[in-house]
Amino acid sequence: MWIENARKILPAWAKNGGDQTDVVLASRARLARNLQDLSFPGHASEATMKEVLRRVEQAVNAIRADHSPLKLTRMEDLPLLERQILVEKHLVSPQHIERPQHRAVILNADESVSTMVNEEDHLRIQAILPGQQISEATAAADKMDDLLEERLDYAFHEEKGYLTACPTNTGTGMRVSVMVHLPALSMIDQTRRLLSALSQIGLNVRGIYGEGSEAYGDIYQISNQMSLGRTEEEILYNLQTACAQLVESERTARDAIVRDSKLQVEDKVWRAFGTLSQARLLTSEEALRLTSDVKLGTDLQIIPDMKSIYLKELLFVTSPGILQKIIGREMSPGERDQYRAMLVRDLVNPNK
């Protein structure tokens, strides 16, 4: 029962779809934009932030009248838990909910495109889609940008391009990224070498929880470093090429481990499955690590008939805010571990 309810709030990126889903979990494109003649949010007065919000709201109302349904939600109108859930759905950043005053998010119908208002920049337009859909995500963000830009005057400089609060985003204001799952490469100790090669060609590599975080569950985020001096197409192409190579390497590594150490891989996968299907307490890190192994098992068809378990779905329902939403009340971390284990058991043994 709860599974159906949880699926109703699943964000677009956590659902099925896209290409190369055995390796690429999700694709994201982000554009940073600011309004002309108004201070950036980090340096703005309350009145300026209000004015930004007023202009953006006006633009959104006009877009809504002509086009698709868009919904603008003010952060301060949301209870804490709902804000937390927006973060866990990757629709807003953790910084965006810390100080909710004069901050907002604009969502489209399926929540694949979200725009933060008054985050580090006046506008942070973002599109996340499942699987390898970098160009689709870029196109979606670009379309939202066009709609807003028709009605708002952006801070733009002939030579510097789109002006942003942080100089690392100046120019195109564009950051594209893919979330990839590389368990086989990490088993044969090749991730570090590959990922450092990526940084040589201007790509950034981070763990799943952002800057400097460990790569729990062998999940990595790869994104472009530079935003100035190259076109959007060039930035996109660079990431697409690197992503294709990563997918190729990971698949080769999976073939190799199945060929050379089939029994060890099977053992690892089934142990993970055993724990997930029986555990009474699960921290989010452990759940993520084990789910990563089980996902490898389903991709390699070691575990047959496992259609009901998906890494992203499990990732999603086991995050603290979502978990409390599903259970319907606030919980202590210890209680969360207990309920997390319960939900995971339900997901893994659907016919129980």
Partner 1 sequence: MLCEECHKRQAVVHFTKIVNNEKTDYHFCEECARQKSEELGLIMKPHYTMQNFFTGLLGADTENVFVTQPDYDTYKCNSCGLTFTDFRRTGRLGCGSCYEAFNDSLDPLLRRMHGASKHTGKVPKRTGGTLRVRHEIEALRGKLAEAIRMEEYEQAARLRDQIRELEKDQA
Question: In the complex, which residues of this chain contact partner 1 (CB under 8 A)?
Answer: 34, 36-40, 42-43, 120, 142, 145, 149-150, 152-168, 170-172, 174, 226-232
Closer residue to partner 1 in complex, CB, 38/342: 38
Taking the complex as a whole, how short is the minimal distance between the CB of residue 289 and partner 1, in angstroms?
Answer: 34
Taking the complex as a whole, how short is the minimal distance between the CB of residue 94 and partner 1, in angstroms?
Answer: 17
Nearest to 106, CA basis, from 120, 95, 94, 122: 122
Taking the complex as a whole, how short is the minimal distance between the CB of residue 263 and partner 1, in angstroms?
Answer: 48
- DSSP H or E segment with residue 104: strand 104-107
Closer residue to partner 1 in complex, CB, 45/241: 45
Closer residue to partner 1 in complex, CB, 41/130: 41
* Whole-angstrom distance, CA of residue 230 vs CA of residue 63: 30
Note the residue count of the chain.
352
Taking the complex as a whole, how short is the minimal distance between the CB of residue 122 and partner 1, in angstroms?
Answer: 10
Closer residue to partner 1 in complex, CB, 19/149: 149
Closer residue to partner 1 in complex, CB, 210/350: 210
* Whole-angstrom distance, CA of residue 343 vs CA of residue 339: 6
Cβ-based burial of 146 (10 A; exposed 0-12, middle 13-18, buried ≥19): exposed
CA distances in angstroms from 185 to 87, 131, 137, 220, 327, listed in the order given: 29, 19, 26, 12, 37
Nearest to 290, CA basis, from 220, 249, 348: 348
Taking the complex as a whole, how short is the minimal distance between the CB of residue 120 and partner 1, in angstroms?
Answer: 7
Nearest to 224, CA basis, from 177, 180, 191: 177
- Which stretches does DSSP call E strand in 110-258? 113-117, 123-130, 156-157, 161-162, 174-181, 203-207, 219-224
Taking the complex as a whole, how short is the minimal distance between the CB of residue 108 and partner 1, in angstroms?
Answer: 20
Closer residue to partner 1 in complex, CB, 108/169: 169
